[in-house]
DNA sequence: CGGCGCCTTGAGGTACGTCAACGAAAGTGG
DNA sequence: CCACTTTCGTTGACGTACCTCAAGGCGCCG
């Protein structure tokens, strides 16, 4: 693995992290940032298709995406892949591994990506430093996101699901400071359809319809929202 | 509100809680249990249809179900109720309120129920006592459950969804020491259908079919699993 | 150039949603 | 305790949205 891109990050830890404003490090002063960096392993540098962790790995750590995008997936009993989520910078992964002692999904980088590992053993230290509230908030934000997406899945109409997913994704990216008009989507439509519980054909038809209606434009690795209001109107407003 | 049923619980706090083996209190010795009880407000006693918290309430606390069953729900933009979950003893509620500062759902007791409140301000103290790992595990278990149910919703076949929900519910109850053959279901079928993203008619038809096939028996406030293997075979095995 | 993912487009079947009527049960008020 | 009302569940007929299967186009890589 190439270690070059992260040398500065490793040296300065959380202090220079681009996502620190939304992460465990938010609201910490310089001194505490250094202490926090002791608790967090910032060494995970991954290329496209590398795995951050795999199904069955011991679940002693959870992870925060620092840059890039990750896909999490599991397997059905019949061996088919099952995409459980896409994870953008500042989002938490792999927490559920603590429940069973091992990860119940695999996490794969969809582009060159970096991630921080937080060992569950270090949680008490993080709370002792005073960064516990921020970590807790990170967990709560993940929970909040999950609920939104879960509610979205209860809608069985394809257009509602897809629009809802995009709208939630816009919100997630805006939290990071993006304008939310151009969504980086390094995943294949096949994976996206899988994740939404739809067939590729159905997703493709909806995207085609929306393109013709001037609602969105789809590029290779991104989706541009041309008419946010119209998209929002399709979401069934699940709050 | 009647305070009688809980007097002993209030006095002895976590030490006498029937769900302590799965809760934050697990693995604590007598002395620490008393300290933990200081951090946790055990006074919430609710009758059927009482609210534990409401949408928009300040999200300064999360809750652990001590006894009974809770239903969480939110509203669509058009004002319809939207059932986001059913919560059994030892399960965590309301964590996502931390993300936005206010609760994004309401929690209502479906039967006479009790719950403990954990203030987010007390998290550091809980970690200082040494109960942090158990609390973390509680959070992770919630996350794990959510993922299972979320994956289940990706399946659009009604029978898969319903069977999957029941199988996950069995697992959740077994964790509490129940045998998992008789599932307490104080919710209406209307609410259950709503939560599964199906219509009442569809759920009713599937239950009818399963009753005729000798798979389940439905009573007023419970479902008895007569043929667990057959039920499991319908779940699409989402792992 | 050929092969292979990945996406698009079409035709047809099926499962679930919708609408509607009915029945059972539970809560209400006299 | 009994009529009334309301909520909840059952069953049927019908339409439609999505899945399935299939063929073809496009870009990427060897």
Residues of chain A with confidence (pLDDT) below 70? 1-12, 239
The residue-averaged pLDDT of B9-38 equals 74
pLDDT exceeds 90 at position B25: no
Q: Would you call B149 and A146 a contact, using CB atoms and an 8 Å cutoff?
A: no
Answer yes or no: CATH 2.30.130.40 is held by domain B5-147: no
| Strand D interface, A 70-109, C-beta < 7 A | none
Nearest to B153 among A136, A143, A197 (CB): A197
Q: Cβ of residue A48 near strand D, that is under 7 Å?
A: no
pLDDT on residue B3: 36
pLDDT on residue B31: 79
Preferred mutation among B60, B82, B125, B140 to probe A, highest tally of A CBs within 10 A: B140
* Nucleotide with the nearest C1' to B199 CA: C17
pLDDT on residue A239: 67
* Nucleotide with the nearest C1' to B200 CA: D9
Q: Across chain B, what does the average pLDDT equal?
A: 89
Structure confidence by residue, pLDDT tens digits, B174-212: 988 888 899 999 999 999 999 999 999 999 999 999 999
Contact list, B141 vs chain A (CB under 8 Å)? 99
Residues 62-91 of B with CB under 8 A from A: 74-78, 82, 84
- 3-state SS, A71-113, equals EEEEECCCCCEEEEEEECCCCEECCCHHHHCECCCEEEECCCE
Preferred mutation among A82, A83, A105, A124 to probe B, highest tally of B CBs within 10 A: A124
Contact list, B77 vs chain A (CB under 8 Å)? 236-237, 239
Instruction: Please name every residue paired with B225 in a beta bridge, in sequence order, or none if there are none.
Output: B216
Task: Count the alpha carbons within 13 Å of A170 in the hemisphere toward its beta carbon.
Answer: 20
Answer yes or no: CATH 3.40.50.740 is held by domain B156-233: no
* B212 Cα to chain A: minimum distance (Å): 27
* Angstrom distance (rounded) from CA A45 to CA A2: 7
Contact list, B164 vs chain A (CB under 8 Å)? none
pLDDT on residue B12: 57
Longest dimension (CA), chain B: 55
* Nucleotide with the nearest C1' to B202 CA: C16
Q: Cβ of residue A199 near strand D, that is under 7 Å?
A: yes
Q: Going by C-beta distance under 8 Å and a sequence separation of 6 or more, which residues neighbour residue A27?
A: A133, A134
pLDDT on residue A12: 57
Between the CA of B185 and the C1' of C27, what is the distance in angstroms? 20
Residue extents of the structural domains in chain B: 5-147, 156-233
Structure confidence by residue, pLDDT tens digits, A206-233: 999 999 999 999 998 999 999 999 999 9
Q: Cβ of residue A211 near strand D, that is under 7 Å?
A: no
* Angstrom distance (rounded) from CA A195 to CA A95: 19
Residues 149-188 of A with CB under 8 A from B: 149-151, 153-156
| Strand C interface, B 177-206, C-beta < 7 A | 197-199, 201-202
Copy the structure tokens of residue A222: 């991104």
Q: Which one is predicted more confidently, B8 or B205? A: B205
Copy the structure tokens of residue A5: 């891109």
């Amino acid at each position: 693995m190439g270690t070059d891109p992260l040398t500065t990050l490793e040296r300065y830890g959380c202090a220079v992290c681009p996502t620190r404003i939304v992460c465990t490090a938010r609201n910490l002063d310089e001194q505490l940032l250094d202490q926090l960096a002791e608790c967090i392993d910032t060494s995970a540098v991954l290329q496209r298709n590398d795995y951050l962790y795999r199904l069955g790995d011991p679940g002693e750590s959870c992870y925060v995406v620092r840059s890039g995008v990750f896909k999490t997936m599991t397997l059905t009993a019949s061996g088919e892949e099952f995409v459980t989520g896409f994870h953008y910078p500042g989002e938490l992964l792999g927490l559920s591994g603590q429940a069973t002692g091992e990860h119940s999904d695999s996490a794969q980088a969809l582009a060159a990506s970096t991630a921080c590992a937080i060992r569950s053993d270090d949680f008490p230290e993080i709370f002792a430093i005073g960064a516990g509230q921020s970590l807790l908030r990170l967990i709560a934000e993940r929970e909040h996101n999950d609920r939104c997406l879960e509610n979205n899945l209860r809608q069985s109409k394809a257009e509602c699901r897809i629009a809802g997913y995009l709208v939630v994704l816009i919100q997630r990216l805006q939290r990071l400071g993006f304008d939310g008009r151009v969504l980086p989507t390094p995943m294949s439509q096949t994976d996206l359809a899988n994740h939404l519980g739809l067939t590729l054909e159905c997703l493709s038809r909806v995207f085609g319809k929306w393109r013709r209606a001037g609602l969105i434009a789809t590029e290779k690795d991104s989706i541009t929202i041309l008419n946010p209001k119209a998209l929002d109107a399709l979401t069934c407003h699940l709050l």
